[in-house]
Amino acid sequence: MNGGQDLGGTHGHGPVKPEPNEPVFHGEWEKRAFALTLAMGMPGGWNIDMSRFARENRPPGEYLSMSYYQIWFAGLVTLLKERELVTQKEIDAGHALTPPKPVKRILSPGDVAKVLYRGGPTERQTNTSAAFKPGDKVRMKNINPVTHTRLPRYVRGRVGTVERVIGYQVFPDSNATGAGENPQWLYTVRFEGRELWGPEGDPTTKVSVDAWEPYLEAV
Amino acid sequence: MSGHDHDHHHHDHDHSELSETQLRVRALETVLTEKGYVDPASLDLLIETYEKKVGPRNGARVIAKAWADPAYRTRLLKDATPAIAELGYAGRQGEHIVALENTPKLHNMVVCTLCSCYPWPVLGLPPVWYKSAPYRSRAVADPRGVLTDFGVALPKDTEIRIWDSTAEIRYLVVPMRPAGTEGWNEEKLAELVTRDSMIGTGLPKSPKDIAK
């Protein structure tokens, strides 16, 4: 979606402000919001692309006025309510008011280290071959889905060079909508600064994105 | 889990200190716990993992080893995920890692313009600035300006390469080994490796920076 999350090349946000000796979390609630988000992945049954869409799918003004853990928390609440695992009434009351829905598994303390170490690899097997090879010129398609996509606006319509064939990976545009993993070939595509930003662009800059084959067309 | 329970009890006496968000997070945790969807002990373990165990010192060990051990450096640059796993670091948000080599002619910098993708097993959780609109918007369009915000000035002819983490590949910058560190062991070299030098928004410390 062309939402507030798609920030590359947008103006007016001011300077970057690094915080010296920044703590991992700013306050107790950030810790809990973070841990709840990770722990609910297993019983909730959603995937990472659904989580990302739940976070970004809000008015841009709202997205940009929230801290990152506020966005995470709001995304978690959305996912929970969509699946009727909790109700707004329960959050308002701060207590369970309805019986729990059956869930496959919950994250037990004994499984935490194992689950984190395993992660969620997105590489998949295939018998197909990649349509593009390193050195090929490609144009990024001009697509504007209202659903989740990982093709940022600043590269759409631009011509770049395939730098690397990464592998065959889960396609977020499908996975986020529940349409399945629909894996696709994934590439690193490199752009000249001036191709992206015009004559004002820095000629000593190159930018790459990782892009799935459905985003690309031969030039 | 006594830590946060105790905090909750303590704060219960003074709701006025708690923001709306804090209250809502606590309310949700209570609901999810009462419904049996989460075990608070698991939450405590998740927090402890990323506060105490997984952080940029992991990445610093990887970089120091790459500086000290040419065979390891070759393995890291060729296929970083197994090379990093040799040191015991792997998993969530680091399932597919690529290491990027800085040279006198090329400086790499990593961003996620669409969200906050970051190589957790080697760097831990991202700092606020990495997830903020100023960094995500400008890193791809004005990287030299962003580096100025970090107090970093590179030679004019150094090529700057920005890696926008739009898929599940996570990038780790391998900065250049500082001069004057000949013969140093990995442990001492690791002291020079900063988090920002592994994102590309900083440079490693020099020997005199850490001289007591």
Q: Domain spans of chain B? A: 2-52, 55-210
Give the pLDDT confidence score for residue B2 in this predicted structure: 38
Torsion angle in degrees (nearest 10) through CA of B185, B191, B192, B197: 120
Task: Collect all residues of chain B within an 8 Å Cβ-Cβ radius of residue A40.
Answer: 32, 37-38
Which of A116, A117, A165, A166 should we substitute to test contact with B (largest number of B Cβ atoms within 10 Å)?
A116
Q: A23, A79 in Cβ contact below 8 A?
A: no
Report CA Rg, chain B: 20
Domain at A28-118, CATH from 3.30.930.10, 3.80.30.20, 1.10.10.410, 1.10.472.20: 1.10.472.20
Would you state the structure tokens that stand for residue A173, as one six-digit string? 């545009």
Among the four given CATH numbers 3.40.47.10, 2.70.50.30, 3.40.640.10, 2.30.30.50, the one describing domain A137-218: 2.30.30.50
What is the distance in angstroms between the Cα of B70 and the nearest Cα belonging to chain A? 24
Decide if B181 touches A, using CB distance below 8 A. Answer: no
Contact A85 B35 (CB under 8 A): yes
Longest dimension (CA), chain A: 61
Rounded Cα distance, A140 and A213, in Å: 10
Domain residues of chain A, as ranges? 28-118, 137-218
Q: Which residues of B are catalytic?
A: 112, 115-117
Best residue of B22, B117, B140 to probe chain A, by most A CBs closer than 10 Å: B140
Q: Which residue among B22, B32, B159 places its CB closest to the CB of A40? A: B32
Look at A204 and B159 and tell me if their CB atoms are within 8 Å: yes
Residue from the list A13, A94, A119 with its beta carbon closest to the beta carbon of B95: A119
Residue A137 has what pLDDT?
A: 98
Q: Which of B5, B8, B23, B32 to mutate to test the interface with A (most CBs of A within 10 A)?
A: B32
Q: How far apart are CA B129 and CA A190, in angstroms?
A: 25
Question: Which helix (H) or strand (E) is A173 found in, with range?
Answer: helix A172-175
Residue numbers in chain A where pLDDT is lower than 50: none
Q: Please state whether beta strands A184-192 and A205-212 pair in parallel, antiparallel, or not at all (unpaired).
A: antiparallel
Question: With an 8 Å Cβ cutoff, are B128 and A26 in contact?
Answer: yes
The pLDDT tens digits along chain B (212 residues) read 334 444 444 444 444 445 899 999 999 999 999 999 999 999 999 999 999 999 999 999 999 999 999 999 999 999 999 999 999 999 999 999 999 999 999 999 999 999 999 999 999 999 999 999 999 999 999 999 999 999 999 999 999 999 999 999 999 999 999 999 999 999 999 999 999 999 999 999 999 999 86
In this structure, are residues B165 and B112 in contact, taking their beta carbons and an 8 Å threshold? yes
CA A137/CA A160 separation, integer angstroms: 6
Terminal-to-terminal C-alpha distance of chain A? 25
Q: Does B125 touch chain A (CB under 8 A)?
A: yes
CA distance B97 to chain A (A): 11
CATH number of B55-210: 3.90.330.10
Cβ pair B6, A8 in contact under 8 A? no
CB–CB contact A108 B127 (8 Å): no
Spatial contact of A25 and B153, defined as CB atoms under 8 Å apart:
no
Which residue of chain A has the CA closest to B139? Answer: A8
B77 in contact with chain A, both atoms CB, cutoff 8 A:
no
Q: What is the count of residue pairs from A and B with beta carbons less than 8 Å apart? A: 268
Tell me the C-alpha distance between A125 and A128, whole Å: 9
